[in-house]
Amino acid sequence: MSAALFEPYALRSVTVPNRIWMAPMCQYSAEPTGPGAGVAGDWHFAHYAARAAGGTGLILLEATAVAPEGRISPYDLGLWNDTQTEALRRITGFLKERGTVPGIQIAHAGRKASTDRPWLGGAPVGPEEHGWQPSAPSPVAFADGHPVPHELTVEEIHEITGQFAAAAERALAAGFQVVEIHGAHGYLIGEFLSPHSNRRTDSYGGSFENRTRFALEVVDAVRAVWPAELPLLFRVSATDWLDDGGWTADETVALARLLKEHGVDLLDVSTGGNAAGVRIPVGPGYQVPFAARIKAETDLPVAAVGLITDPVQAEKILADDEADAVLLGRKLLRDPYWARRAARELGGEVPTPDQYHRA
């Protein structure tokens, strides 16, 4: 029997050549200001090209901001102007040449915006370091030492919804075949979902219906401009890992059913990120049970992520029907050729560049 990891997977008109996908991971390597702000450069090209040459089936580019103030850091990629769109075409063109499906995650960081690069500590930065005041559903700081965010008005919420749609249009112009909406890790959409961060009393806060309203409006706005033949993904944190007052796995299952109705094709299932200082039981495949539950209880396909590092482990997740694909993060930072090694170990196959055949 052939390994499930190396079976193609169809999403609408797009067929991904295998089930080894690259999770979005910010590189914090764009210029912070000026005409190069948010623009992909040589580092981004080399980084993603290496993973494509390594046989990765789908590459989801890092959280790419729909507006300048939606960046996690001043050094993030953006998709709010034509210069950024044009620079990304170089990457998508190469990925397609290698048989890899190019995808991109579009995002707004909400109250977790305006922070430094992680290797410099990741603390909030002010205007003197190219920073700005973050915005959020409610004026509740993410953690001690973080600024109290500006509480978004309903008009501003609608404006951000439009920014997501505009970014999706630019993603299409840049050559991407998959777009993923970032609703996880305590960034803006996830902040609306969770009562831990959403204290609103209007139609965007309180009940499950109200807290999911912004997420569904963003999905609808993106789906309206994203071609019907191309897939739309949504990343969710399945739990805040809080005993009380947070977003829960039960709510994630309910949201998954709604996302399916609104045109989402696959749920990228992660956890956490919205509450500081929580204890998370991290271990190999620790988030897979959340993906498995959604797959078992809904009709929405899922991808699993979280300390999936070993080919046999990844194959078992698919063979046990716990997910439809696996997303690798840090492991692909360490090893761009993980898919090629997995193919050798499991008897699968990924395309080898002509230039490497003699090796």
**88-125: pLDDT as tens digits:** 999 999 999 999 999 999 999 999 999 999 999 999 99
| 331 burial type by CB count under 10 A (0-12 exposed, 13-18 middle, 19+ buried) | middle
- pLDDT for res 351: 87
CA atoms within 13 A on the CB side of 17: 19
- Please check the confidence at residue 336 and state whether its pLDDT lies above 90: yes
Which amino acid is present at 88?
L
- The answer on pLDDT for 2 being more than 80 is no
Q: How many CA atoms lie within 13 A of 205 on its CB side?
A: 17
pLDDT at 343 over 70: yes
203 φ/ψ sector (left φ>0, alpha ψ -120 to 50, else beta):
alpha
Q: How far apart are CA 68 and CA 37, in angstroms?
A: 9
Please determine, looking at this structure, whether the domain spanning 4-349 carries the CATH number 3.40.50.450. no
Q: Which residue has the tokens 């998709």?
A: 79
Catalytic residue among 9, 75, 187, 204: 187
Are the C-beta atoms of 228 and 167 separated by less than 8 Å?
no
Say what the pLDDT of residue 17 is. Answer: 97
Query: What does the longest C-alpha to C-alpha distance in the chain come to?
Result: 65
Region for residue 249 given its phi and psi (left: phi exceeds 0; alpha: psi -120 to 50; beta: otherwise): alpha
Which tens digits make up the pLDDT trace of 12-31? Answer: 999 999 999 999 999 999 99
Tell me the domain boundaries of the chain: 4-349
Query: In the Cβ-directed half-sphere of 223, how many Cα atoms lie within 13 Å?
Result: 17
| pLDDT at position 1 over 60 | no
The reply to whether 187 belongs to the active site is yes
Mean pLDDT value across the chain: 97
Mean pLDDT computed over 53-61: 98
pLDDT digits (tens, 9 = 90+) for 170-206: 999 999 999 999 999 999 999 999 999 999 999 999 9
Q: Among residues of the chain, what percentage have pLDDT more than 70?
A: 100
- pLDDT at residue 263 greater than cutoff 80: yes
What is the number of other CB atoms lying within 10 angstroms of the CB of residue 166?
18
Structure confidence at residue 115 (pLDDT): 98
pLDDT, mean of residues 30-45: 97
Segment 4-14 mean pLDDT? 97
